[in-house]
Chain A
Amino acid sequence: MSFHLDTVMLSRIQFAITSIFHMFWPILTIGMSWYLVIMEILWLKTQNPDFYRHARFWSKLYILNFGLGVASGVAIEFEFGANWAPFSVAVGDFLGSILGFEGTMAFMLEAAFLGIMIYGWKKVPPIMHLLATTFVAIGATLSSFWIIVANSWMQTPAGGEMVNGKFIVHSYLEAILNPAALNSWFHMILAILETALFVIGGISAWYILQKRHQAFFSKSFKIAIALAVLITPLQIVVGHLSGEQVYHNQPTKLAAIEALWETVPAGESGPWNILVAPNVREGKNNWALSIPGGLSRVLEMKPHLSQPVLGLNEWRPQDRPHGVSLIFYTFRIMAGIGFLLLGLMIVSVIQWLRGKLAVENITEQPWLLRAWMLAAPLGYVAVECGWMVREVGRQPWIVYGQIRTADAASHVPAGNVLVSLISYTSIYLLLFACALYFGSRIIRQGPDLELPAPNHTFLDDRNQENITATESEISWKL
């Protein structure tokens, strides 16, 4: 793959780096917000202050992520105009409206109630607090919905047409519910929940392995396993449907995912590549390790293809993606992690059913606990890989089949972009290291198990703190 560092390439690299960095933080803030909702409901239902302490402990990690997510998100919002002005003008009718929606109906909800969720424990009654946390979770989830809608529309544009270089929307509903939208959003929200679960489970496993607060963290560990029972298999089904959607709507991306250069006609089954060395210049694989007859089974779960699968050589080199190795391997890493996490869930459930995960003997499962610790970062890897498949696979288009990436960049001198790129990259590296450092400090410090839970008589005695404090002590001694 040859490229020279012009404004377009530098703008692409900058956008890639800023979005890869941004992606790390909302995963945990969205996923964990729902986990916090569950903790608060459990606390209110059982009155067990441990659930309250869980909420307080995990929200420390949440808030660490939130600041990074906001800041890196603002960077992306302004990059649309700064680095991709022609694109922004051409698709402003649709993309602008969607970003406006994201800000006003989703992100504002999250940002405003976040203040109450994190700092409002002593200011509002528990039920109001639960409501605030729920609003944070809804806002964050809606945010992800609108962002995925915007990006999906770039993958499978619908609901209008290009007129004189501008996209005119005929039907907003069609544009929002473009072929990729719902499927991609399900895939993404499941990925978010799955990653957050394995982070929570992995950190809990670390504590259990250290024999620190075993009973406390067995709770979160088991909740993570229980939720993984639902989510890990579902994600594989939705992931498969996502692949089918790409198969139907973005044939160049599918061909790159499979490193398929020559068309496989209908009725045949085709090989499914495991390892390849793509040669983009000559339009072939230098070598390939593949399962004969695997392609039709992977794509359609049938022994023979019902329709031809187009190979990359069907398109001129300038009309197909060039990062074939990247797309091919990141896809396999993503899918592989999906199956790995499914496997870990199954093993964990078996051990649970055999009674091996009771608080007394859970530490006798060091390998399982270590596997969970190792699995903690895997969700992030899978998400980042998935996005690389999605974005690099869309090339050379910024809006698939409609606007080329090369025509979409602002006319900014390359030197400016280089300077901003270097600035973002160095700042982000620093912040990434700091986030890991402070995150691990929070984890090493551990939860405050002495923390008294706010009392439910809060509303009646807002001003008589002494009385409520004694009452709460009595109530949980009982």
Chain B
Amino acid sequence: MEAINSILPLLWFGLVALFLTLYLITDGFDLGVGILTLTAANEENRGIIINTLSTVWDANETWLVCTGGLLYGAFPLAYATIVNALYIPITLMVIGFIFRAVAFEFREHSLNKTFWNFGFAGGSLLVALSQGLVLGGVIAGIKVDEAGNFIGGTWDWLNLPSILVALSVVQGYILIGSTYLIFKTEGELKEYHYMTAKFSSITTLIGAMALTIATPMFYESVRNKIFHQPEILIFESIPVIATGVMVLLINSINRREDRMPFVWTIVIFLITILSLAFVVFPYIIPFQVTIYQASSSLSAQAFMIAFIGFFVPIILFYNIYLYRVFQGKVFSSHYGD
């Protein structure tokens, strides 16, 4: 019983992290492509760019719906406290989502597309920025009482490091969006996004370096965690590995490879998420509430794992099938062609 008690929250932490990772990668390129439509040379190009998403965007966004649901089910306290504390960035994120989601269809039907083009790109940017602020706010720490309920202020999440995180997240999304477009388009568009990919890989690298230095500097809790033996070895090797992959990425861009820039970007995303998980674990509200304290009851977690554990492989299977059906380059700006 004791063993199950400690394994289940661990398992759920892993499962929530898996869903969040899938979300950050899939909707990451989705949002990045959305931001990149701002720079499209003409309406035809913008149409093609958006069309690379038309078939997958709703499934991509659903990873967030699932992550939210699973976080709520497995760690109700963490879900409630984090979302409550970050009221403003979460609301901004939702508003961004709303504009993005409706712009897909509304721009297709409207005669003057300008408003919805901005709605789509602006919505994507708003979502990316607010997700960065959410992440920054969580790392900055959330004030809670002994029971784990939020007791901080409205603007606690807004500070220099969280703005830095937000800007870096935007860069990261633009990078993965660019490399996705390299993979999904041909010709002029592809060539253009080699350029944006190269540019954003450098800005992402700068952002990541600044964060690696700034976060432990600003937050004692982070400092305590990562300068602790033996973890320090892991945390020292992460920036080295990440920089190495970054070199591989820039190389593959320079060599005008088709698929590899996207693959290397995914690897960079995985390294980043993994290192974040290392910093946070075993907390779920960083350095305040552990996964054990925030867990729903044993029976709830067991009940959920029995059903959702069964569905996870099925979900992965049909999502892969979805991508396979629509594999290959996109040439047309008309949905479904």
Which A residues lie at the B interface, using CB under 8 A? 63-64, 66-68, 70-75, 77-78, 80-82, 85-86, 88-89, 92-105, 107-109, 111-116, 118-124, 135, 168-169, 172, 410-413, 416, 420, 423-424, 427, 431, 434-435, 438, 441-442
Q: Which among A78, A111, A172 is the interface contact of B303 at CB below 8 angstroms?
A: A172
Closest A residue to B83 by beta carbon equals A81
Given contacts A115-B56, A420-B91, A108 and B336 within 8 Å (CB-CB): no
Given contacts A68-B102, A99-B72, A108 and B82 within 8 Å (CB-CB): no
Contact with A along B265-286 (1 / 0, CB 8 A): 0000000000000000000000
Given contacts A67-B102, A416-B88, A81 and B79 within 8 Å (CB-CB): yes
- Are the CB atoms of A103 and B61 closer together than 8 Å? no
Given contacts A101-B308, A121-B336, A78 and B90 within 8 Å (CB-CB): yes
B54 within 8 A of A: yes
Q: 8 A-B Cβ contacts within 8 A?
A: A75-B97, A77-B69, A78-B90, A92-B296, A93-B300, A104-B69, A411-B150, A416-B87
- Are the CB atoms of A68 and B94 closer together than 8 Å? no
Q: How far is the CB of B290 from chain A (nearest CB, A)?
A: 16
- Are the CB atoms of A89 and B304 closer together than 8 Å? no
Given contacts A105-B311, A441-B109, A74 and B65 within 8 Å (CB-CB): yes
Closest A residue to B98 by beta carbon equals A71
Given contacts A77-B69, A89-B77, A96 and B83 within 8 Å (CB-CB): no
- Are the CB atoms of B72 and A64 closer together than 8 Å? no
Contacts beyond the supplied A88-B72, A95-B72: 6 A-B pairs with Cβ under 8 Å: A64-B109, A71-B94, A82-B91, A104-B70, A119-B336, A413-B154
- Are the CB atoms of B300 and A169 closer together than 8 Å? yes
B290-337 residues with Cβ-Cβ distance < 8 A to A are 296-297, 299-300, 303-304, 307-308, 311-312, 315, 318-319, 322, 325-326, 335-337
Complex Cα–Cα for A377 and B102 (A): 22
Closest B residue to A84 by beta carbon equals B80
B101 within 8 A of A: yes
Given contacts A85-B80, A111-B58, A420 and B296 within 8 Å (CB-CB): no
7 closest residue pairs by CB, A with B: A92-B76, A81-B83, A96-B73, A100-B73, A103-B69, A119-B336, A96-B72
Chain A facing B: main interface SS = helix
- Are the CB atoms of A99 and B105 closer together than 8 Å? no
- Are the CB atoms of A80 and B335 closer together than 8 Å? no
Complex Cα–Cα for A279 and B240 (A): 73
B149 within 8 A of A: yes
B54-78 residues with Cβ-Cβ distance < 8 A to A are 54-56, 58-59, 61-62, 64-66, 68-70, 72-74, 76-77
Q: Hey, which chain B residues are within 8 Å of A423, CB to CB? A: 91, 95
- Are the CB atoms of A123 and B76 closer together than 8 Å? no
- Are the CB atoms of A434 and B90 closer together than 8 Å? no
- Are the CB atoms of B154 and A416 closer together than 8 Å? yes
Q: Hey, which chain B residues are within 8 Å of A112, CB to CB? A: 58-59, 62, 315, 318-319, 322
Q: Hey, which chain A residues are within 8 Å of B76, CB to CB? A: 88-89, 92-93, 96
Q: How far is the CB of A387 from chain B (nearest CB, A)?
A: 21
Q: Which among B101, B105, B300, B318 is the interface contact of A438 at CB below 8 angstroms?
A: B105
Given contacts A82-B91, A89-B80, A438 and B109 within 8 Å (CB-CB): yes
B235 within 8 A of A: no
Q: How far is the CB of A10 from chain B (nearest CB, A)?
A: 12
Complex Cα–Cα for A113 and B319 (A): 9
Complex Cα–Cα for A99 and B55 (A): 25
Closest A residue to B68 by beta carbon equals A77
- Are the CB atoms of A118 and B72 closer together than 8 Å? no
Q: How far is the CB of A424 from chain B (nearest CB, A)?
A: 8
Complex Cα–Cα for A370 and B63 (A): 44
Complex Cα–Cα for A218 and B224 (A): 73
From B84, B149, B308, B319, residue with most partner A Cβ within 10 Å: B84
Q: How far is the CB of B63 from chain A (nearest CB, A)?
A: 8
B118 within 8 A of A: no
- Are the CB atoms of B109 and A169 closer together than 8 Å? no
Q: Hey, which chain A residues are within 8 Å of B87, CB to CB? A: 82, 410, 412, 416, 420
- Are the CB atoms of B300 and A104 closer together than 8 Å? no
B81 within 8 A of A: yes
Closest B residue to A80 by beta carbon equals B72
Given contacts A104-B315, A169-B300, A111 and B61 within 8 Å (CB-CB): yes
Q: How far is the CB of B175 from chain A (nearest CB, A)?
A: 24
B86-127 residues with Cβ-Cβ distance < 8 A to A are 87-88, 90-91, 93-95, 97-102, 104-106, 109-110
Q: Hey, which chain B residues are within 8 Å of A105, CB to CB? A: 307-308, 311
- Are the CB atoms of A92 and B72 closer together than 8 Å? yes
Complex Cα–Cα for A410 and B154 (A): 12
From A71, A410, A442, residue with most partner B Cβ within 10 Å: A71
Q: How far is the CB of B253 from chain A (nearest CB, A)?
A: 29
Complex Cα–Cα for A96 and B294 (A): 13
B230-287 residues with Cβ-Cβ distance < 8 A to A are none
Q: Hey, which chain A residues are within 8 Å of B69, CB to CB? A: 77, 96, 99-104
Q: Hey, which chain A residues are within 8 Å of B66, CB to CB? A: 100, 103-104, 107-108
Complex Cα–Cα for A441 and B109 (A): 8
- Are the CB atoms of B59 and A115 closer together than 8 Å? yes
Q: Hey, which chain B residues are within 8 Å of A118, CB to CB? A: 55, 335-336
Complex Cα–Cα for A120 and B107 (A): 20
- Are the CB atoms of B59 and A108 closer together than 8 Å? yes
Complex Cα–Cα for A80 and B87 (A): 11
Given contacts A78-B94, A92-B73, A413-B154, A123 and B325 within 8 Å (CB-CB): yes
- Are the CB atoms of A85 and B150 closer together than 8 Å? yes
Q: Hey, which chain A residues are within 8 Å of B70, CB to CB? A: 100, 103-104
Closest A residue to B147 by beta carbon equals A89
Q: Which among A89, A108, A119, A169 is the interface contact of B297 at CB below 8 angstroms?
A: A169
From B54, B62, B88, B149, residue with most partner A Cβ within 10 Å: B62
Q: Hey, which chain B residues are within 8 Å of A66, CB to CB? A: 58
Q: How far is the CB of A435 from chain B (nearest CB, A)?
A: 8
Q: Hey, which chain A residues are within 8 Å of B82, CB to CB? A: 81
Complex Cα–Cα for A70 and B60 (A): 12
Q: Which among B62, B81, B98 is the interface contact of A72 at CB below 8 angstroms?
A: B98
Complex Cα–Cα for A63 and B61 (A): 16
